[in-house]
Amino acid sequence: MTGSVETPTAVQSADTQLYDCRDAFENKLRELASHDHRIVAVVNDSVGSSKLNQFGQMYPVRLVNVGIAEQNMVGVGAGLANGGLIPFVCGAAPFLTGRALEQIKADMAYSNQNVKLCGMSSGMAYGELGPTHHSIEDMAWLRAIANMTVIVPADPVETAQAVEAAATTYGPMFLRISRLPVPIVHGPDYRFQIGKAALMREGSDVTLIANGVLVARAIEAADMLAKEGVQARVLNMSTVRPLDVDAVISAAAETDGIVTVEEHTVYGGLGGAVAEVVVQNRPVPMRILGVPGVFAPTGSAEWLLEHFGLTAQGIRDAALDLIGARA
């Protein structure tokens, strides 16, 4: 493989314990804040939604609560950055991104301010609360904006490293932090790099490209496929912008097709980003798994993931279908 990743980084035996990535986010932010006084957090009322209660207890002045006002929150973040601070602007992803999109575009991205936007409980994590509370368009919206870096960590290990990378790398960024319980998929030697895909499983028959909470399911699907004699490569594409173009082209060149998997609409997200590279460089068959352009019906987050086939079984079926179509 000629891409940026050489050795699989996934832990070999499945850890059965599940984690809420917001804990890793908050722990790392508090640790970084202890030695970098420029780090501040900005929230819109819901300190608990971003799990920032402990941060607020340790750094009460550096937890800026603007109330329920997302447009102002992002503008305030840009102003804090103008004043030399490093604001982590945290809120429930659907409201943070949808309500404040013009502020994200003009005040953060076009102004090129060093603001770190943290979209909590992204995807369909709010389940039964319904489509108003689902954030399944944020990757498409934010990756369309120039200057933006868009990161979707897969587990607590990667979340912590992504927070550190965000704090130490200049530029407007969006971190998409889930509340859905996920297993640890990265080993202790894993080193997250902005813009680099992580190779989770080597394979030459088909490539599964996932991010966020669905990486663990893609790995599980690869294990199922392996038992059926299909060697699936698995990439954790945690940075959606800038995309790891080399890893995508290598996957297209070295395997028979690509299945993308995202907790997001299939319009313009991870699948769209990968397809843009594939069709212009190395066309191969693809399947784009996600929410198929509908508002989700009522159901828990777990039920909705199953409903839309975003399970190990669903990913395995899509991969076999893809290879079958190719054969």
Partner 1 sequence: MIDTQQVDAQKVDKLRKMAAAVRRRDLQTVNRAKLGHVGGEMSATDILVTLYFAVLHVDPERPDDPDRDRFILSKGHSAVALYTTLAHRGFFPIDQLDTFAQPLSKLNGHPDRNKVPGVETNTGPLGHGLPVGVGAALAAKLQDSSWRVFVLTGDGELQEGSNWEAAMSAAHYKLDNLTVIVDRNRLQQGDWTEQTMHLEPLADKWRAFGWSVQEIDGHNIPQLLQTFSSLPFEPGKPSCIIAHTHKGQGVSFMRDRAGWHHKVPNAEELALALAELEEVTP
Residue 70 or 155 having the CB closest to partner 1:
70
Residue 49 or 72 having the CB closest to partner 1:
72
Q: For the chain, what is the HEC assignment?
A: CCCCCCCCCECCCCCCCCECHHHHHHHHHHHHHHHCCCEEEEECCCCHHHCCHHHHHHCHHHEEECCCCHHHHHHHHHHHHHCCCEEEEEEEHHHHHHHCHHHHHHHHHHCCCCCEEEEECCECCCHHHCHHHCECCHHHHHHCCCCCEEECCCCHHHHHHHHHHHHHCCCCEEEEECCCCECCCECCCCCCCCCCCEEEECCCCEEEEECHHHHHHHHHHHHHHHHCCCCEEEEECCEEECCCHHHHHHHHHHCCCEEEEEEEECCCCHHHHHHHHHHHHCCCCEEEEEECCCCCCCCCHHHHHHHCCCCHHHHHHHHHHHHHHHC
Least separation in angstroms between CB 298 and partner 1: 31
Least separation in angstroms between CB 143 and partner 1: 20
The footprint of partner 1 (CB under 8 A) covers 40, 61-62, 64, 66-67, 69, 71-72, 74-85, 87, 102-103, 106-107, 110-113
Least separation in angstroms between CB 78 and partner 1: 5
Least separation in angstroms between CB 60 and partner 1: 11
Has 158 been annotated as catalytic?
A: no
Residue 78 or 194 having the CB closest to partner 1:
78
Least separation in angstroms between CB 281 and partner 1: 30
Residue 84 or 293 having the CB closest to partner 1:
84
Residue 61 or 327 having the CB closest to partner 1:
61
Which of 6, 26, 70, 254 is an active site residue?
A: 70
Catalytic residues: 70
